[in-house]
Chains A and B, each alone.
Chain A
Amino acid sequence: MFVSIVCVLLPRFELAVAAGDREELLREPAALAPEPGREARVGEASPAAEAFGIHAGIPLGEALARCPSLRLIPPDPAGVADRWERLLVRLESIGAAVEPERPGLVCFDARGLLRLHGGSLERLLDAARRALRQSARFGVGPSRFCAFAAASRARARRPEIVAGGEAEAAAYLATRSVALLRGRYETAALPESLERLGIGTLGELAALPRPAVADRFGAAGLLAHELAHGRDGKLAPRQPPERLAEELELPEALSGVQLDRALELLVDRLLARRERRGRTLRTVVLSAALVEGGTWRDHVPFREALADAQRMRLALAQRLRLLPAPAERLRLAVERFGPPASDQRSLLDEAGAVRRSRLREAVRQARAAAGPDAALRVLAVEAESRVPERRVVLTPFE
């Protein structure tokens, strides 16, 4: 079976972006500081910090106890998102349908691209490397996880290729450390527990009986067990987004009411952009460069698609209150558009019969797209029962 998944890994991507041109920081024990308002855990760590046993996700107190001289670098979520988007677009420019896992880790399917790039995997990888215009590690394997494991062992100009199918992937993974599971969001918490139990390699994990893994680790354990056997879910490539953003340089660091005014201006400018073509906005990203250094970024999905500047400002102003420091630059970008504004009618102003008929049509369409269980309602069957799971059931909407 032909190897199909290519994994591109840019180690410590978020740390490198946050450090910017202060590259000397990466030679010292350094780690990303926790994001303001989030749990106090450090982000990616430099190699020198990793030598002290510090890795992304450990509590800040523990990291400082392990290495008192640890330098904390303010995170730059907005810079990371911008830079990462640019790299994804570059990969898409060679025809790759990419599935980004997290900033610094992306996979795409090589099948279908080979003939575009001279028929060989090496040429395809060369094309990807040239497109990226920066150092990256390439791993190729029959599954996403196997390709990721290969990429984490690859060198800058020497890709690691695992040929074959599921069995070859399992054999390749057998000697690799369970620490690789940290690369997947769903299984990131498992390596610590596995290592405590003396399970150091993915081969040892694969050899465990599946029911025992399910009992001890639940859904995350089952996924890790599947991954260790060389199996993984299919790639789900992203739809390349349409980019529309407005930015405002603030002459002096602003906060409070002045910042609300700046937001008002940004919303008006964004809605006035011709590229919007009358569409509503479903999800936007609000970001800011902070006066103290670092950036702040918040992803804001609206409850319903909006084209009304005032309602949009109301929703976004609440998020601006979360800014951890005065901002010197504010940016508002559209992440997803909704339907055109002319399609938006108020549900509450219409007559009951019309409303019910539209609701029935919506239910019908949702069921056609997602199956009979797409629209359900809650029905109390034994509301007074002392056993919680007997009280209510989900039943078809009508």
Chain B
Amino acid sequence: MSRSVGRAHRLAQPRRARVEADPVDGRPLTVGERAVDAVRESWLVEDRWWNGSPIRRRYWEVVTTCGRDLEIFHDLRGGSWFVQR
């Protein structure tokens, strides 16, 4: 079937999240209503810098106090936080 794949059908779309971060090192302290219990990993993604919509994100894999393992990122261009998994 020849059907174009629209934006709405991508998986793992980032969803906006309420995150409070440490003002010094940017480490997330709370995600939504939950406090962050542990930070498992952090990495930087810089991509698409060769075209008009570059991506600069600081990713954090965190575990909240309810035991959920979340992958969140701070959009370093727009300043907002998103949850991706």
Please list the residues of chain A having a beta carbon within 8 angstroms of any beta carbon in chain B. Answer: 189, 193, 215-216, 218, 373, 376, 378-379, 381, 385-396, 398
Q: How many A-B residue pairs have CB under 8 A?
A: 48
Question: Are B55 and A389 in contact, CB atoms less than 8 angstroms apart?
Answer: no
B33: Cβ under 8 A from any A Cβ: yes
A378 CA to B1 CA in the complex, in Å?
Answer: 15
User: A387 near B16 (CB under 8 angstroms)?
Assistant: no
* A218 & B5 in contact (Cβ 8 Å cutoff): no
What are 5 A-B pairs with beta-carbon distances under 8 A? A215-B16, A378-B11, A390-B10, A395-B5, A398-B1
With A388-B85, A389-B84, A396-B1 known to touch, is A218 a contact of B9 (CB < 8 Å)?
no
Q: Which of A215, A216, A389 contacts B11 (CB 8 A)?
A: A389
Q: Contact at A395–B9, with CB atoms within 8 Å?
A: yes
**Closest residue to B45 on the A side, CB-wise?**
A386
Do residues B3 and A395 form an inter-chain contact, with CB atoms below 8 A? yes
Known A-B contacts A189-B33, A216-B18; the reply to A387 vs B10 at CB < 8 A is no
Determine the main DSSP class of B at the interface with A.
Answer: loop
Closest CB of chain A to B82's CB: distance in Å?
10
Contact of B12 with A388 in the complex, beta carbons under 8 Å: yes
A-B CB proximity, top 8 nearest: A394-B9, A388-B12, A393-B5, A396-B1, A392-B11, A389-B12, A386-B45, A393-B10
Main secondary structure of the interface of A (DSSP, over half): mixed
Q: Which residues does chain B contribute within 8 Å of A385, judged by CB atoms?
A: 47
Which residues of A lie under 8 Å from residue B1 when comparing CB positions?
396, 398
B14 contacts which chain A residues (CB < 8 A)? 389
- Identify 17 new A-B residue pairs, CB closer than 8 A, beyond the known A381-B5, A395-B5: A189-B33, A378-B11, A386-B45, A387-B55, A388-B71, A388-B84, A388-B85, A389-B11, A389-B12, A389-B84, A391-B12, A392-B11, A393-B5, A394-B11, A395-B9, A396-B3, A398-B1
A392 touches B12 (CB 8 A): yes
A395 to B16, CA, bound (A): 24
B11 pairs with A387, CB closer than 8 A? no
Query: Across the interface, which residues of A come within 8 angstroms of B13, CB to CB?
Result: 389
- Choose among A381, A388, A394, A398 the residue with the greatest number of B CB atoms under 10 Å from its CB: A388
Q: Please indicate the chain B residues that have their CB under 8 angstroms from the CB of A189 in the complex.
A: 33
List the B residue with the shortest CB-CB distance to A219. B15
Report the separation of the CA atoms of residues A397 and B31 in the bound assembly, to the nearest whole angstrom: 35
A391, B33: Cα distance in complex, Å: 29
The closest CB in chain B to the CB of A372 belongs to: B3
B residues 6-59 near A (Cβ < 8 Å) are: 9-14, 16, 18, 33, 45, 47-48, 55
Say which residue of B3, B10, B33 sits within 8 Å of A389 (CB atoms). Answer: B10
* Shortest CB distance A194–B (Å): 13
Task: Please name all residues of chain A whose beta carbon is closer than 8 Å to the beta carbon of B12 when the two chains form the complex.
Answer: 388-389, 391-392
- State in angstroms the CA–CA spacing of A176 and B74 once bound together: 38
> Which of A376, A395, A398 neighbours the largest number of chain B CB atoms within 10 Å of its CB?
A395
